[in-house]
Structure 1
Amino acid sequence: MQKEEIKSVIGSYRRFGEAGTVYQILDIVDDLEVEICVLETNEKTNYPLTQALLDPREF
């Protein structure tokens, strides 16, 4: 995936799997991780980029 394509996910909302909690992608940390905010708890944490790209979009 190109760097510009990866940047395009910033601000998008995703769900942990089909029935999981919704989170927002806040920023790109590095080539392997993104910073996310879990909407239900307002927790900010790093998450694997490859997994975020596989998680279903929300909203």
Structure 2
Amino acid sequence: MDLLVGAPLFMDRGSDGKLREVGQVYVYLGKGGFTFNNVIKLTGSEVYARYGSSICSLGDLNMDGYN
């Protein structure tokens, strides 16, 4: 089982040191059962774009037979 978790209000520090609301998506690729590999973090690049606010099924991301 693979899992995506959206965090559209995630804040990150820009190069100027100020916090920016950019959003983030956490990707958990299943190893089988309910165990997962290390999380992959995808961070948005546009301020206030709410990256991660809309997530849909992508199918089997790591080709392990589970959608």
If the length of structure 2 is used for normalisation, what is the TM-score? 0.28
Choose 1 or 2 for highest CA Rg.
2
If the length of structure 1 is used for normalisation, what is the TM-score? 0.30
Which of the pair is proportionally richer in helix? Answer: 1
